[in-house]
Structure 1
């Protein structure tokens, strides 16, 4: 990691923030993501640190909060047109409602990750037993739907803590964060989403959403952004592909 470390953050193999609440940690991580955005090569992560980057002249498109009966199919059609592979971090409860969409994501060649069973927030404030239940229940639900277990986990809201990371590691999952966040879930307008995503460069992990509300702006923005990034010679890969 390059650049100054935010106050009271130490990345020496593990996150150690014993005196900060989960919500304070949530906001402190914004500074770390900004730092990773500026870094020449964002961290590839390991069992104790989230993935913030990918190797090579590549980016990773990650899509959270689905599956959704309207927006997931439109997202899949868009990705197919541009021959882009993405990672979908799915919520277990929504997979239970739409298992056929989870299978469609798999059949289209995309990677499926675990995004908890019910997306509670702030995630890091949950008791350790509840954290584990949220992750394990989603693993089972996704595995039942698609026939294989996810190997990646993203904490709801990117809300990491030492307990979340230990639980993730105990379950054999790789924690994945992001470096480029257009806040598309807020529906800030297509132009703003396009501008933010277009700043992506080699090594970055992009965050978008296909669930949790109207995602028409996200789909419209990606129609512009995907060919733009491809024209710059960037390849789309999945996080942790170098392992």
Structure 2
């Protein structure tokens, strides 16, 4: 898909999530949605990262009947177990965490940019969440292990970064389940959080995510770093949006993310000097 079209999809999804979700409670489905079916994926479904290699294709084409226990006990107090009936909207922010913020990075890991982000987080002894794509993770499992060793949370961002509402339920399960398997092989435990590409969720994604033991997390502040606006605008968006409980969306792959790496080096010490603490779901 051309870069411009992908950017439009991202912007529309981000604006829609911000306008409609709000600070969320644990909303759940009570009745099935008869209109919740999905059509087949388009041929030009967007993807983040390079084409998958043989190992990646094998993982994607042969998903297991993968199922985890729903959620875990180490989530923040505002987050509850995802057991059917499941949530109908993602979490957008965290409550009950004091003067804390959550930094999240999508689409990686990418050996060109992820190490720089990890180095900055390590320098300031901060934790973050990384929502990884399976086709990137399968060939960069050393970076997954580095994230885990540093205390970061590794989440699921599907295998190939498709537009979820355009997929059949079986494809959604394949995208999420295959990525969870790669993470579990690398770390010994599967992801407990997931994020829909472009912020585009549907009923099936919530149901399948819950079956895989994951909670859905969106964001409060979009840095728009995927538009490559320059380091300064990224820094300003984070500092202007800083508030207790907000979730910041950035990227460590999917394009030239050198601005994202440089921006983190600038805004993170400023947030810390302002009294904010970077937090993640507790182990």
Q: TM-score, length-normalised on structure 1?
A: 0.81
Is the counterpart of residue 237 in structure 1 residue 282 in structure 2? no
Q: In the aligned structure 1, how far is the partner of 2:225 from the partner of 2:210?
A: 29
Q: Deviations over 1:121-155 (max 9, x none)?
A: x2221111100111000010111112111100111
Query: Structure 1 residues 163 and 35, CA, compared in 2 at 3 Å: closer, same or farther?
Result: closer
Q: 2:270 aligns with which of 196, 206, 228?
A: 228
Contact 2:13–2:198 under 8 Å retained in 1 = no
Q: 1:210 aligns with which of 252, 262, 276?
A: 252
1:30 maps to 15
Is the counterpart of residue 184 in structure 1 residue 169 in structure 2? no
Contact 2:106–2:249 under 8 Å retained in 1 = yes
Residue 44 of structure 1, CA deviation: 5.6
Q: In the aligned structure 1, how far is the partner of 2:275 from the partner of 2:24?
A: 21
2:213 maps to 172
Gaps (5+ residues) in structure 1? Answer: 1-22
Is the counterpart of residue 53 in structure 1 residue 93 in structure 2? yes
1:113 maps to 155
1:3 maps to none
Contact 1:71–1:216 under 8 Å retained in 2 = yes
Aligned length: 213
Paired residue secondary structure (2:138): helix
Report the aligned-residue RMSD: 2.2
Residue 237 of structure 1, CA deviation: 1.1
Query: Structure 1 residues 35 and 228, CA, compared in 2 at 3 Å: closer, same or farther?
Result: farther
Q: In the aligned structure 1, how far is the partner of 2:161 from the partner of 2:186?
A: 18
Q: In the aligned structure 1, how far is the partner of 2:172 from the partner of 2:211?
A: 12
Q: 2:24 aligns with which of 43, 48, 67?
A: 43
| 1:26-175 aligned within 5 A | 27=12, 30-34=15-19, 42-43=23-24, 45=26, 47=82, 48=87, 49-55=89-95, 56=97, 57-120=99-162, 122-175=163-216
Contact 1:44–1:54 under 8 Å retained in 2 = no
Contact 1:34–1:179 under 8 Å retained in 2 = no
Q: In the aligned structure 2, how far is the partner of 1:165 from the partner of 1:211?
A: 25
Residue 205 of structure 1, CA deviation: 0.2
Q: In the aligned structure 1, how far is the partner of 2:130 from the partner of 2:104?
A: 6
1:17 maps to none
Gaps (5+ residues) in structure 2? Answer: 1-7, 27-79
TM superposition outliers: structure 1 runs of 4+ over 4 Å: none
Q: In the aligned structure 1, how far is the partner of 2:17 from the partner of 2:108?
A: 26
Q: TM-score, length-normalised on structure 2?
A: 0.70
